[in-house]
Structure 1
Amino acid sequence: MRESPTMALAQLEPEGLDAEGQNWQQRKSIQTRLAILEAAIDCLQEHGFARTTTQLIAQMAGISRGAMLHHYATKQELIASVLEYTFFKRMENFLAAIRTLSEDERVDRNAGIEIYWESLLTREFGAYLELMVAARTDSELREVFLPKARHYERIERAEVARAFPEWQDDPDAYDLAMDFCISAMQGLLFNREIWEDRDRRIRLRRFISTAIVMLRSGALAA
């Protein structure tokens, strides 16, 4: 039995960021943590992992380095929270967008493909991408990154399956569709600046969408 969306999203929510029921001082601390995490995302997006330092993040967040260290004593601890925060925001925003679709948009027009594409253009995914690439050669980052990325992937699969119930009768086809969609769309993202032709990118997304519909209908074998 799968968890409810609220329970699944709760698994991704970083600790210490829930302001509900907290006193004023605790809420202020949470606001500072959020400011740090948002600044870290901007820093990763603009400067890359190698040039992202706790000092630069503190500067972008508008706080002292001492205040930064009070909340995150090490860069590794901060990056772990940044990963959790980006995963949570990406999932929350994606599911919110999917729930606005009509059944016709979701099933017949496969509008989720464009929503997923838009999610790849967000600053949260940009920060995640910087960490994913850096984790390939940074062993300390890799130790933090891989377990959290794998945890997110498991929850993402369950949540997206719930958001698209038309796949529930063929879980094998669903898994293949997810693999294909993620691989193809992220590959498109990586080549976006090389493939300058916007129409070319749109045609490829339409092809991805058509292939997924064919897979769901059984016209294309899993």
Structure 2
Amino acid sequence: MDARTYPAKATPKSLRTRARILDAAMRLFADVGYHAATNAMIADAAKLTRGAMLYHFASREELVEAAVAHIELERARLFEQAGASQPAAGSDATEHAIDAYWALLHETAFVAFAELEAAARTDPMLRERLSAAQSAFDRAQVGDRFGAMVQAGADPRSQTSRDLGRFLLEGLAKGAMTYDQAARRERLLTVVKRAVRMLNRKGDIQELWAE
């Protein structure tokens, strides 16, 4: 949905209000979860009355559809920003890309999207509204941008190196470590970097575990 869908609501003030609502929804999805972030809570966070928010989003479905698009735009913006950042002179491009994606996974837009993906498993309405965004991000952002960042080609081996790095990082970001968190996380990130470099045939790494 955009301003063309609701021409009567496309004034600058109205668009600013919609953006405020969608920012509040994104933050709350990340902070308290999709189901806990009710429309009433989102209205309160956006400093609006329930009636005022209904003017912009008449139903939960309308709000969710717009929020998914809003979060996806923010994820794309952050990804583009990360992709534009160059590794320091003499540093490894693959390690730089993995560090950049790891940092992205902790941004509010990425946390919110991960929450929506988890909630969509048991919510058909959310699953339907999320599917296109998931596919677009998988191909255009992670597929193209992350592949370029880790300097992976288009062949199956390079694609696998990209996917391995991506899904291991996403799983690690969602994992709940209960002890020795920092040390375990650093060991796992080191192994992820070595695995991706090995698959990309970068350098002389032959073992996943550095003795």
Q: TM class by shorter-chain length?
A: 0.7 to 0.9
Q: Which amino acid aligns with 1:143?
A: E
Q: Choose the corresponding residue for 1:120, options 82, 105, 115.
A: 105
3-state DSSP of counterpart to 1:212: helix
CA separation of 1:204/1:92 partners in 2, compared to 1, >3 Å: closer, same or farther? same
State whether residues 121 and 127 of structure 2, in contact with CA within 8 Å, keep that contact through their aligned partners in structure 1.
Answer: yes
Distance 1:37 1:105 in 2: 41
Q: 1:15 maps to what in 2?
A: 2
State whether residues 99 and 163 of structure 1, in contact with CA within 8 Å, keep that contact through their aligned partners in structure 2.
Answer: no
Aligned counterparts, 1:16-35, within 5 A: 16=3, 26-35=11-20
Q: 1:160 maps to what in 2?
A: 146
1:201 counterpart = 2:188: no
Deviation beyond 4 Å, 4+ runs, structure 1: 103-109
The runs of 5 or more residues in structure 2 that have no matched partner are: 5-9, 207-211
State whether residues 135 and 142 of structure 1, in contact with CA within 8 Å, keep that contact through their aligned partners in structure 2.
Answer: yes
TM-score normalised per structure 1:
0.78
Percent identity, please: 26
**Residues 102-144 of structure 1: per-residue CA shift (max 9 Å, x gap):** 3756744621111111111111122112211111111121111
Aligned counterparts, 1:41-190, within 5 A: 41-102=26-87, 104=89, 107-108=92-93, 110-156=95-141, 157-163=143-149, 166-168=151-153, 170-190=154-174
3-state DSSP of counterpart to 2:95: coil
Q: Which amino acid aligns with 1:92?
A: R
Q: Which amino acid aligns with 1:91?
A: A
The runs of 5 or more residues in structure 1 that have no matched partner are: 1-13, 18-24
Distance 2:90 2:18 in 1: 38
**Two-structure CA RMSD over aligned residues (Å):** 2.5
Q: What is the aligned length?
A: 198
Distance 1:106 1:159 in 2: 19
State whether residues 26 and 108 of structure 2, in contact with CA within 8 Å, keep that contact through their aligned partners in structure 1.
Answer: yes
Alpha-carbon offset, residue 174 of structure 1: 2.9
**Residues 136-177 of structure 1: per-residue CA shift (max 9 Å, x gap):** 11112111122321122121112333455x323x43223212
**Residues 172-194 of structure 1: per-residue CA shift (max 9 Å, x gap):** 22321222112211111122443
Q: 1:37 maps to what in 2?
A: 22
Q: 2:199 maps to what in 1?
A: 215
Q: Which amino acid aligns with 1:155?
A: A
CA separation of 1:111/1:65 partners in 2, compared to 1, >3 Å: closer, same or farther? same
